Structure 1
Amino acid sequence: MMKKLSTLVFGLTLTSLCHAQETFPRNGTYDERTGRYAFTNANIVVDSKTTIPNGTLLIENGIIREASKQVKIPAGVVVIDLKGKYIYPSLIDLDSDYGMPEVKNEARGRGRQTPQLESNKKGAFGWNQAVQPENDASQVFSPDAKKGGDLRKIGFGTVLTYSHDGIVRGSGAVVTLTDESANKALLNGKASAHFSFSKGTSGQNYPSSGMGAVALLRQNYYDADWYAKGGKAKETNLSLEAFNQIKTLPSFFETNDKYSLLRADKIGDEFGTQYVIKGGGDEYQRLEEVKASKATLILPLDFPAAYDVTDPWDADAITVAQLKHWEMAPANASVLTKSGITFAFTAADLKNKSDFWSKIRSAIEYGLPKDKALEALTTTPARLIKAEGQVGSLKAGMLANFLITSDELFSKDNVIYENWIQGKKFIIAPIDAPDLRGTYSFSINKAATGKIEISGSVEKPDYKITIKDTVKVTPKVMLANDLLTLTYQPEKKTPGTVRLTGWIAGKGLAGDGVMPDGSPLTWSATLTEPYKSVAKKDTAVAKIKETGPVVYPFVGFGNEQLPKSETVFVKNATVWTNEKEGVLQNADVIIQNGKIAKVGKGLSAPSGARTVDGTGKHLTNGIIDEHSHIALFAINEGSQTSSAEVRMSDVINPDDVNIYRQLAGGVTTSHLLHGSANAIGGQSALVKLKWGATQSEMLIPEAKTIKFALGENVKQSNWGDVARVRFPQTRMGVEQVYYDHFTRAKEYAKGWKDYNGATKKTGLEVPRRDLELEALAEILDNQRFITCHSYVQSEINMLMHVADSLNFKINTFTHILEGYKMADKMKARNIGGSTFADWWAYKMEVKEAIPYNAALMYHEGVTVAINSDDAEMARRLNQEAAKTVVFGGVPEEEAWKMVTLNPAKLLHVDNRMGSIKAGKDADLVLWSTHPLSIYARPEFTMIEGAVYFDRKEDVAKQTKVAAERERLIQKMLSDKADGKPTQKAPMTMPRMWHCEDIIGIHAEHEEGK
């Protein structure tokens, strides 16, 4: 009874489907057919867990009616005997632009065009063109015959398509790859919401960096919430309305590498959204973090080709990370599977779609189970778009989207014969192609000419002609039904092409043709030796390809195992405490649980401790660089006069080799600052240089600082006439920026205070959360501290007066090369100075700098730090501190504090670092000699009791890195010798950031790869 009922329901569904098509008039007669087919004797792969051998698939009107071994075939059904062939569900791609209007990016760059500060989009939409939630893929979708055909050829039947333009990209649509109308192809017009960090075609200046993209997206979420809670009464914003509508849909986020993936997941966590994230194929490099995100991933298949390393100079240009990723990228899916991470595959990034199956097989060769590969192409993507009841498997009631193949889907010899979409057949290869394979004697005009050898597979034969036993040529062949066409050039030296047309004649071939001189001919080919099939290899016992180890970070000098905190006993060292005890001779220090446990003389080593003999050596706490730009993907969001909403913590780059280099120079902590392209920059990040650790493990979240700036960089008036648009353009304007923003920040803070302190009866409206003003309000509340880029006395005086009048505090003036002129005023306001030891003469603003600057500020009682602002200089900050002893007579211990304790004080973390005292973090350096000597070298650099740099281990690392490079180079040379494709070696130059550096968001993403 139940079976009859389901059949009745199915019949009603089909009837309604047919009637639905009648809303469109036709020019001509109606030819309605039920499309009833029964595919018998097939291996039906219903899904990755269910296969029906020798089964029957029954479809009607584009719907699967039944799939089983015992199917009662109704009368009037077309029966197709597949004779042991296979039927699979058609594949699904979740990252497609199929049927979407072409996205054209405009030329961008400083000096090319007048900055666009506001949106050019007409209508009551949002303020930023990179945010386009109103984009609706279903409204612009139009089937594309060329793209659809290319995707059908490799097995796809359904895609999630959307506009790949902007940070908020709008909604996506689920469509099939039928060649019929959009009305037929469209399955779900509002299936998904889409996001990225790329601003797309927007010509607007903001955002100009990855951190700006994060801030814009976060602000958009908060604005949409405010709009829904009452903001609509104040303004009409169609973008926010659309955003509120799509944010409940399954959300997809496009990223291009492991760190942008984690950045996207962090945004999702903040707003209660679990994104499906398209990754960059390098997720294996940060496996535990990716797993912790709990995100389902979409994986690209554009594994890099081997580099052409024939020329040793070219080989030297390739980084260890690039070499290792080439080897390990195909194993990414296998590694994720073993870790329990769910994913789908996409063909979107393949330049040549015909490479799709070779890439999938490569992933399988590196350990990806076939059932997981099938899930990643069918059931998983169907579930992610909530279409598992329509596509992705071959169950009754689902769309008749399926493939007919010659073999198992992932077999190298498999041929996709047909791709059926919504019950309509698309022929990919002839399903009943004649088997012409074998060796034939070849005659022209009845004269023996040579032989024809046909090998390969039935569906994809390989042809070779041998003329008079000496000349071997490969003809161009076309076989259509039983009609064969061959063309070849018999003599390489003599131009001219023989053209043959023929047909199958018994066990041979025969036909007519034309000689190169135009004379007609007849030809024949008689089978002399049948083709001998080569036995297939047993793929079940195929050995999984091996790769080298993953290292952390995934660059040269990375660690296979991350350093761990140890119990260490350092004895008989000269200990620079930076405390009242001063420098202790022949002293001992005990490190336990990442902290300094004891400091003194005659101490005993704890049980199990590693003992380090410090005789003749100096133990200090680690150097703290108060002004640094290393380990970042970008440093400036200079598109607006204030970017207080952006956070440097969003663009930390743990793979920057400068981390390791600076550990080798005794640096353990770096204050990563925004640049100086605007008056109010972004929120800084204080990190410990834990080489190989995660972004969050490096970050010291309690250090809350922000970058301000004065001078030429801020005005941008020296960028040329075309850039003279953004306010301010003068130093007077810079002053007004501060007055304006802090006045508004005070009002903002008061609005929230009134709202939070009010009762429900007051009826106060919910204030709009503003991330920019929120950061400035934290300054007013002494919860965030200013580090201000500065040079000239007049401007420094200006900002101090502004701070006095608006009642906020300046924490530190950085650079401050004219600090010696106003050290008394700084001391009176308890403002610190972080300066260079002897940088000057690099621009007009520093023409009055002197080498005694740091010493004069110190003697006046200012807390002085010596900073780097330069990746190279940071490796020698101990020597920079020593210069203050020479220039100004600063005592050695006080000079040392300028790169250790004083920066800790300025950053408000001196309670846990900056000196050697029991209870503080064990961030320590053992120097070979006096730390202020130019001959001093760190023996080891320790952070929280773990050794992150050891000079002896560094020698071993260099040898190991060289051996790994050569192993991979030899492997690439072997690939080239085997005829595999190669690519030109790229010239990769690591970027050394400085305050004024600005790159576009697109270039930044390229650097992040």
Structure 2
Amino acid sequence: MMKKLLIACFSLWFFSSYAQETYYVNGVKDERPGLHAFTNATLHVDYKTTLESATLIIKKGEVIAAGTNVSIPEGAIIHDLGGKHIYPSFIELSNNYGLPEVKSQRSNGPQLGPKKEGAYNTNDAIRAYFNAYEAFTAKDSEAEKLRKAGFGTVLTHNKDGLIRGTGAVVALHDGPENEIILKEKASQHFSFDKGSSTQDNPSSLMGAIALIRQNYLDAKWYASQNEMVDISLAAFNKNKAHPQIFEVGGDKLYVLRADHLGDEFGVQYIIKGNGDEYQRLDEIGATNASLIIPVNYPEAYDVEDPFDALNVSLAEMKHWEMAPYNLKMLKDKGINFSITADGLKDVSKLQEMLSKSIEVGFSEEEALKALTITPARLIKMDDRLGSLSKGKIANFIITDGSPVQKGTKIYENWVQGNGYKYHDIASPDLAGKYDLSVGEQEYNLMVSGKSGSEDFKIVINDSTSYKLKSDIKKQLISLSFTDEENESIGAVRMSGWLTKDGLAGKARIADGSWVEWSARKNADNEESEEVKEKSPDDEESESIGNLIYPFVAHGNETKPKSETILIKNATVWTNEEDGVLENTDVLLENGKISKIGKNLSASNAREIDGTGKHLTPGIIDEHSHIAISRGVNEGSESVTAEVNIEDVVDSEDINIYRQLSGGVVASQLLHGSANPIGGRSAIVKLKWGYSPEEMKISWSDKFIKFALGENVKQSNWGERNTVRFPQTRMGAEQVFEDAFTRAREYEAEWKSYNQLSKRDQANTAAPRKDMELETLVEILNSDRFITCHSYVQSEINMLMKVAERHGFRINTFTHILEGYKLADKMKEHGVGGSTFSDWWAYKFEVNDAIPYNAALMSGEGVVTAINSDDAEMGRRLNQEAGKTMKYGDVPVEEALKMVTLNPAKLLHLDDRMGSIKEGKDADVVLWTDEPLSIYAKADKTIIEGTVFFDREEQEAKLDAIQAERARLVNKMRGAKSNGKPTQKVMPKSQIIYECETEIQNYSSLK
């Protein structure tokens, strides 16, 4: 036995140099073949193949045999594992091991161009030229942490920038770099985080997406031209041959955004998610993407203080409870994924996190698969990694059980045939009950815990016990305690060794004399834990809440569905020639308004009594900034027509539900007013619980946001922002002139190319496709329409003239607070106005605003709407419209049209929305009172025949939310009382966007 232990110890100190044939050695060169035989093992060849009493043979860092009838080669170092387990080492796909630290930087002022000199991309966030293998330096202190957790291989890559270059597969061995780099270019990496770049662009999520999109277009163009050299684009094109991995950040919606971007260019990304994918399983499953899933499950919040509990959202509470279920739910959905330890504060917590998922139904087999063969397949290295079949790299761990279960000991981790020892395999399992003799004194000794982390306790009686201090090193053991009941024994210090049936040795007692001591095991069962009495409030409930859509308060357990609905005996405000109809029925069927009349009937219809209530078309907000992720302004350049709000629609925004409660059914989600030509807008229906794509009105015309005034010339941005053009109102005009002149030239260039014969096109490089100019050409050709942020009469007049010079018309002036001064010119131009009811004097250029503006524009024949530009105001647009009755005596039906039919006209939706007419979309609101009254409440808000807000159900929802929060608070308190770690509550607030949000101090993407 001792001989075998010595051989095993020697083999663990031995690091073969067989692969270092090109290295100079100052001394005697060790050319032994690294031949090892691991016998009597439970061998897990792969995640689903287990062999009992098996043997693994490795040579020169490679598996040469694995099985139950394997002959051991002569000269092999034999490791008798005595039933221990061998598993393939884990593979980590999300790590920057061995690469230089990315240091955050801060710009001292606006940085419009790149800092990196040379023939590189014009944006510092595009780093496709970076190759991890060229910057890689092995760092054993970092590797050691990963090895201890069971990893043998890492895909290391630079976590900096939007396009991050290539990753390298490296072994976690402390040998020379040219030995441990297994694949120098294994992948190309992306993210939505621009990283250390201090360049202003991008300053928003939509800007980041637009920049990546333009890079794809530029790379395609670059491959067909010979006009210029761009090292970044050249590298990007070469790197497309590798697996493409996208680290999305954010939440589960970012997975959908990345996949949508990839679909545009025929690229199927491998996507590193965020651990909350279970919240949108159907949509994520439909992407067909393989995922890299973190297991950094949140700790319970410390909610002992009830005021602290108020600062934890329902979504945060539910995610704490449901996060461990993510892996099982992904597996059940048939989604392919690997597991990453990235995101864990301590990689040693990996086993604990995986155990939580296994406890709730995720299988050990699937966990092993996601840590071994799946990541190997994703990086196309399953021919060398992920299992222990013949010919694979000798990366494996030796354990006392499943390495995905908490408490399992990893004795050794072998990487490329080199062993790293963390626990002594020969150490026995000491847990159990013992008869302990110290001289003539007898004790009951209890030993609990895993080998290497044992707890020793002497039990005197039900109320008295002594905890022993212990130190175990290989076969030697030291124990000490003080017997307070027996003065002749007193303080005892024992030193001894392991025997066949227990422990034995010499002890020195209180009087200084030496006595013999021994401990013989009499039972294998560990000490049972005492049952601690807990109050009901401290109990950890085994129950789990239901998924809700969206995953925030007021979400629904199932997505609302379209119904056949018959609304009876309501006062119907049609917005048509029929005007207001008393005691009228409206039938909603197949998402449309099917019939309007009296005494209607329909089989299988849900009847709603509208007696005493008022039915109107749903409110449409022409100017809104709700439901937008990570930035409403891309203010880094004066023209950002390439960015698109449609890329960043946030279906989880609680303001969607709040505005449904105010009767809003649709909104135009606009870019802010940071620049003269901003981004493209998204027009959505407020389908609460549906995905971003399902919310978008796919059949609508396309719009874009322009802006005039103080914001675009950076009047209030601070002293640092005096660089970006324009800095004056005159400069803003030149931005428009230049942009549309360039667009005309761009259009002409493409027309010229498209008129070439196919033969000539084959011999001619196509023009560069520019998303900014493509959008401006759409405007010139009336394929996209302008909503322009405006205040001052002179600038409004200027932009209309610019448009007329270039042959198009402005669609809508929004804000338009001096519209009353030139309403006749607006009518002549054909532009509408979307304004506030009574906002004025909140900045200098608004000083001439008056509350009669809407009435005066409407009286001149301008299509006039009332908008919100504000999440709170969006909930009461009916009252805002009502104010026009006070200011200007606007008739009530015309006032209602200002938030229904008129915004529908401005958004070109009026053929299907904005009035109650047979054949139009069933987007209606049932009010408790006259719709523009301050007493009116939306009783039911219906979109395409689906009830998305129901005031009657709202009371039940509030009760359910309160009950769910109470349950989760008790469960968290139970976790804390059971000794589980908790996190401090940190209050969070939502950024409520409006036009000027982040203009003065927009920050880099983080």
State TM-score, norm by structure 1. Answer: 0.92
Residue of structure 1 in register with 2:954 after alignment: 954
Separation in 1 of the partners of 2:164 and 2:232?
Answer: 11
C-alpha distance after superposition, 1:566-610 (max 9, x if no partner): 1111222111111111112222211110001122334x2122112
Amino acid at match of 2:745: E
Q: How far apart are 1:458 and its partner, in Å?
A: 2.9
Q: How far apart are 1:480 and its partner, in Å?
A: 2.6
The secondary structure found in structure 1 opposite 2:678 is strand
Residue of structure 2 in register with 1:553 after alignment: 550
Q: How far apart are 1:466 and its partner, in Å?
A: 7.9
Which is further off, 499-508 or 49-58? Answer: 499-508
CA contact (8 A) 1:590 1:597 kept: yes
2:660 to 654, 660, 663: 663
Residue of structure 1 in register with 2:85 after alignment: 86
Q: How far apart are 1:449 and its partner, in Å?
A: 12
Separation in 2 of the partners of 1:413 and 1:255?
Answer: 32
Amino acid at match of 1:937: K
Amino acid at match of 1:724: T
Residue of structure 2 in register with 1:177 after alignment: 172
CA contact (8 A) 1:208 1:999 kept: no
C-alpha distance after superposition, 1:533-562 (max 9, x if no partner): 34999xxxxx99652111000011101111
Q: How far apart are 1:783 and its partner, in Å?
A: 0.6
Residue of structure 1 in register with 2:692 after alignment: 695
Q: Is it true that 1:988 corresponds to 2:980 in the alignment?
A: no
Q: How far apart are 1:33 and its partner, in Å?
A: 1.0
CA contact (8 A) 2:503 2:520 kept: no
Separation in 1 of the partners of 2:933 and 2:773?
Answer: 46
The secondary structure found in structure 2 opposite 1:169 is strand
CA contact (8 A) 2:477 2:498 kept: no
Amino acid at match of 2:665: T
Separation in 2 of the partners of 1:928 and 1:296?
Answer: 49
C-alpha distance after superposition, 1:716-741 (max 9, x if no partner): 24322222121111111111111111
Residue of structure 2 in register with 1:244 after alignment: 237
Q: How far apart are 1:237 and its partner, in Å?
A: 0.4
Separation in 1 of the partners of 2:231 and 2:913?
Answer: 50
Q: 1:225 to 1:478 in 2, by over 3 A?
A: farther
Separation in 2 of the partners of 1:45 and 1:161?
Answer: 26
CA contact (8 A) 1:455 1:531 kept: no
Q: 1:742 to 1:432 in 2, by over 3 A?
A: same
Q: 1:741 to 1:999 in 2, by over 3 A?
A: closer
Amino acid at match of 1:117: L
Q: Is it true that 1:405 corresponds to 2:399 in the alignment?
A: yes
- Once the two structures are superposed, the pairs formed by residues 200-599 of structure 1 within 5 Å of their partners are 200-230=195-225, 233-256=226-249, 257-437=251-431, 439=434, 453-464=446-457, 477-484=470-477, 502-504=495-497, 508=503, 510=505, 525-527=517-519, 530=522, 532-534=524-526, 547-599=544-596
C-alpha distance after superposition, 1:984-1008 (max 9, x if no partner): 11212122111111289998977xx
Separation in 1 of the partners of 2:512 and 2:1002?
Answer: 61
Residue of structure 1 in register with 2:626 after alignment: 630
Separation in 1 of the partners of 2:928 and 2:99?
Answer: 64
Q: 1:75 to 1:137 in 2, by over 3 A?
A: same
Q: How far apart are 1:165 and its partner, in Å?
A: 0.6
Separation in 2 of the partners of 1:614 and 1:657?
Answer: 28
The secondary structure found in structure 2 opposite 1:686 is strand
Amino acid at match of 2:163: V
Which is further off, 401-410 or 653-662? Answer: 401-410
Amino acid at match of 2:691: T
C-alpha distance after superposition, 1:747-802 (max 9, x if no partner): 11111122122223375430101011111111001011111111111211221222
CA contact (8 A) 2:437 2:519 kept: no
Q: How far apart are 1:612 and its partner, in Å?
A: 1.9
Instruction: In structure 1, list runs of 5 or more residues that go unmatched.
Output: 1-16, 492-497, 538-542
Q: Is it true that 1:616 corresponds to 2:612 in the alignment?
A: yes
Q: 1:436 to 1:332 in 2, by over 3 A?
A: closer
C-alpha distance after superposition, 1:936-960 (max 9, x if no partner): 1111000000000111011111111
Instruction: In structure 2, list runs of 5 or more residues that go unmatched.
Output: 1-15, 485-490, 530-539
Q: 1:521 to 1:952 in 2, by over 3 A?
A: farther
Separation in 2 of the partners of 1:567 and 1:434?
Answer: 71
CA contact (8 A) 2:194 2:1005 kept: no
Amino acid at match of 1:240: L
CA contact (8 A) 2:411 2:423 kept: yes
Q: How far apart are 1:49 and its partner, in Å?
A: 2.2
Separation in 2 of the partners of 1:957 and 1:505?
Answer: 64
Which is further off, 942-951 or 787-796? Answer: 787-796
Q: Is it true that 1:163 corresponds to 2:162 in the alignment?
A: no
Which is further off, 527-536 or 976-985? Answer: 527-536
Identity of matched residues, %? 53
Alpha-carbon RMSD across the aligned residues, in angstroms, is 2.7
Separation in 2 of the partners of 1:599 and 1:712?
Answer: 49
State TM-score, norm by structure 2. Answer: 0.92
Separation in 2 of the partners of 1:1002 and 1:141?
Answer: 34
Q: 1:335 to 1:546 in 2, by over 3 A?
A: farther
Separation in 2 of the partners of 1:924 and 1:142?
Answer: 64
CA contact (8 A) 1:208 1:1001 kept: no
Amino acid at match of 2:957: K
Q: How far apart are 1:448 and its partner, in Å?
A: 7.5
Amino acid at match of 2:792: V
Q: How far apart are 1:489 and its partner, in Å?
A: 10
Q: How far apart are 1:459 and its partner, in Å?
A: 3.6
Q: How far apart are 1:20 and its partner, in Å?
A: 5.9
C-alpha distance after superposition, 1:672-696 (max 9, x if no partner): 0000111111000000000001101
Residue of structure 2 in register with 1:13 after alignment: none
Separation in 2 of the partners of 1:356 and 1:1000?
Answer: 43
Aligned residues: 968
Q: Is it true that 1:710 corresponds to 2:705 in the alignment?
A: no
Separation in 2 of the partners of 1:655 and 1:473?
Answer: 56
Separation in 2 of the partners of 1:161 and 1:508?
Answer: 47
1:154 to 149, 152, 159: 149
Amino acid at match of 2:548: V
Q: 1:869 to 1:524 in 2, by over 3 A?
A: farther
CA contact (8 A) 1:367 1:545 kept: no
Q: How far apart are 1:99 and its partner, in Å?
A: 0.9
C-alpha distance after superposition, 1:307-363 (max 9, x if no partner): 011000000111110011000000000001111001100001100112110101111
Q: 1:505 to 1:558 in 2, by over 3 A?
A: closer
Q: How far apart are 1:564 and its partner, in Å?
A: 1.1
Which is further off, 801-810 or 261-270? Answer: 801-810
Separation in 2 of the partners of 1:368 and 1:544?
Answer: 20
